[in-house]
Amino acid sequence: MKIAISSDHGGNNLRKEVMSLLDELNISYEDFGPQNSDSVDYPDYAKPVADGVASGKFDRGIVICGTGIGMSIAANKVKGIRCALVHDVFSAKATRCHNDSNILAMGERVIGPGLACEIVKAWLGTEFEGGRHTRRIEKITELEG
């Protein structure tokens, strides 16, 4: 599995925690930054992750900002992306099982690093159920035009 990851300045610290977890789990990733805490525009950092996942270069992506809201909105503008904003383990599992989410968004100002790492582990370790959910994913894809 190969992961694309990025944040804006508001998610920089949590992104580093998540990358440490990915290192521990021996999961390959590419970091799209930013490399310092200067203020940046979150769409500029959501786009390379979303483009990479949509193109198939990466299996999944993780985006982090202050709340996770801006990054998830920006990522979801890219065709083929199903980015889920998640702040609990149950939702992390559900969005993989039922929605086949391919990008996870989280907010550094909303959750701490311990919970974020548990969410990432649950999200990465959960597979899409398929079945009746496939029809629903196909309907989401139709909305993209």
- Does the reported pTM lie above 0.85? yes
Confirm whether residue 67 is marked as ligand binding.
yes
What pLDDT shows up at residue 78?
A: 98
| Residue 133: active-site member | no
How does pLDDT run across 6-49, given as a tens digit for each residue? 999 999 999 999 999 999 999 999 999 999 989 999 999 999 99
**Could you list the residue range(s) of the whole structural domain that residue 60 is in?**
3-143
Confirm whether residue 99 is marked as ligand binding.
yes
Helix axes of 113-124 and 12-24: crossing angle, nearest 10 degrees: 50
What pLDDT shows up at residue 136?
A: 95
Q: How many domains does the chain have?
A: 1
pLDDT bracket for residue 95 (50, 70, 90): very high
Q: Which of 83, 87, 97, 98 is catalytic?
A: 98
Confirm whether residue 133 is marked as ligand binding.
no
> 54 is written with which tokens?
């949509």
Q: How many CA atoms lie within 13 A of 24 on its CB side?
A: 9
| Residue 87: active-site member | no
Confirm whether residue 68 is marked as ligand binding.
yes
